[in-house]
Amino acid sequence: MYDELYDAWKRELENTELEKLSSDFYSRVADYLRRLKEEGRMLDKRTVKARLLENEMRNVKRMVHELIQTRYRKLVKKAAKGERIPSGFLTTEEKKIYAGVLPLAEAYHSLAENILRGHAQKVNVEQKHKNAVLRFLKNVPEIIGADMKTYGPFKIEDVASLPLDNSKILVKQGLAERVEV
């Protein structure tokens, strides 16, 4: 894995265009780092092998950091120009991030074009997770919302704003009722 990471890091730094990475590249690198840490814990810190392993971990972390930063700058630059990146060039994690960056860049392009034409444009920022206000009818323990945030615990008569997906489930189960605001 070290050689693969080194090659990817070197190609990314040497080229102005985004280089192709396998979709599972980052998960394999994370697994590699985890194994290095585990191996390092089992060694006597004074041995040559432990010091070599420590140097390898330091190099791997530096390369990963530089690789991610370099790819991030290239992705943002492409998005700012309105250029599309073939999904085969991105890792699974990067595809999700890029999917969030691209609409933002497109919104800015649209804003700029409309202003340059002399048209004012209302900007609507969509929330990924709409919320609903609930009044709790029963005690409810802490839950993880659809937006991956922690909510609760809730007691009877508590009022809270939760993601719509979670709200629907709580109402359906008779644990809460929706409050119209």
Q: Which residues contact 113 (CB under 8 A, 6 or more apart)?
A: none
Rounded to whole angstroms, the Cα distance separating 54 from 46 reads 11
Domains of the chain (ranges, CATH numbers):
2-116 (1.20.58.1030), 131-179 (3.40.5.50)
The DSSP line for 53-75 is HHHHHHHHHHHHHHHHHHHHHHH
Model pLDDT for residues 38-91, shown as the tens digit of each residue: 888 778 888 888 888 888 888 888 988 998 888 888 887 877 777 777 777 888
Q: Kindly tell me the sign of the dihedral angle through the C-alpha atoms of 68, 42, 53, 11.
A: negative
Reading the chain (181 residues) residue by residue, the pLDDT tens digits are 888 988 898 988 998 888 888 888 888 888 888 888 888 877 888 888 888 888 888 888 898 899 888 888 888 787 777 777 777 788 888 777 776 666 777 777 777 777 877 777 665 555 455 888 999 999 999 988 888 888 989 999 889 999 888 999 999 999 999 987 6
Q: Contact at 8 Å (CB) between 39 and 50?
A: no
Nearest to 19 by CA among 60, 62, 74: 74
In this prediction, residue 176 carries a pLDDT of 94
Tokens at residue 46, please? Answer: 């004074």
